[in-house]
Amino acid sequence: MKKIGFRLLGAMLATAFSLAASAADGVNLARAEEIVSGRCFLCHGLEGESASPVFPRLAGQHGDYIAKQLADFKSGKRNSDTMKPQAEELTPAEMKALGAFFQAKVVGPRVGRDQELLAVGKYVFNRGNQFSGLPACSTCHGAKGLGTPQLPRLAGQHPRYIEDQLKQFNKRERTNDNAVMHTIASKLSELETHAVAEYIATLD
């Protein structure tokens, strides 16, 4: 109970600091909340929690990363028949505000059930596969999958969404981000893809 309490307190403090920083940067969070409650919530949830495994959880994602993806959807650099019309009318300031809004939200891990599969995923995430030349995911995304403003937070993401993105990278259907992912995705076996996606979902 104490551990949960400290985690919740830490999350609340992180949210408070993030909101304060956003206000200092002149980000219009009220406008972001208006946009979220008007359209984004349908797929991503009011808090960025996304109940559907098809749509990514945005809570806790880096604000700069979200803003970049929205800009790429708008320009067509990242292809999506669903997201392009949603992003077309957004201004750069609104994209930045949406990024700050979702970054301030708290995301929680998913409880894993298949321990053997999770063990494979953990190995691949932390050590890669030297026999196929696959690098460790943690090299770029961090030991806890928290990413950077340029590289996405993976921790707590829906496994299905992770798998779908890896498949898109492998097929060269997603080209707006780091081209290194094309090579990485091509080296993942189906088992490794599934296992690492399940493991990533358990990270907090």
62-75: pLDDT as tens digits: 999 999 999 999 99
Task: Give the residue range(s) of CATH 1.10.760.10 domains in the chain.
Answer: 2-103, 115-201
Q: Specify which residues 134 forms β-bridges with.
A: 129
| pLDDT at position 5 over 70 | no
First to last CA, the chain: 17
pLDDT band at 83 (very low <50, low <70, confident <90, very high): very high
User: At what angle are helices 180-187 and 159-170 packed, to 10 degrees?
Assistant: 110
Which candidate, 175, 158, 148, places its Cα nearest to that of 63?
Answer: 148
CATH number for domain 2-103, candidates 3.40.50.10540, 1.10.760.10, 1.10.357.10, 3.40.50.300: 1.10.760.10
Average pLDDT, integer, range 159-184:
95
pLDDT band at 26 (very low <50, low <70, confident <90, very high): confident
Total-model pTM: 0.87
pLDDT band at 24 (very low <50, low <70, confident <90, very high): very low
CATH class of 115-201: mainly alpha
Average pLDDT, integer, range 44-61:
97
pLDDT of 107 reads 83
Cβ atoms of residues 60 and 106 within 8 Å:
yes
Which amino acid, 95?
A: M
Q: Specify which residues 129 forms β-bridges with.
A: 134
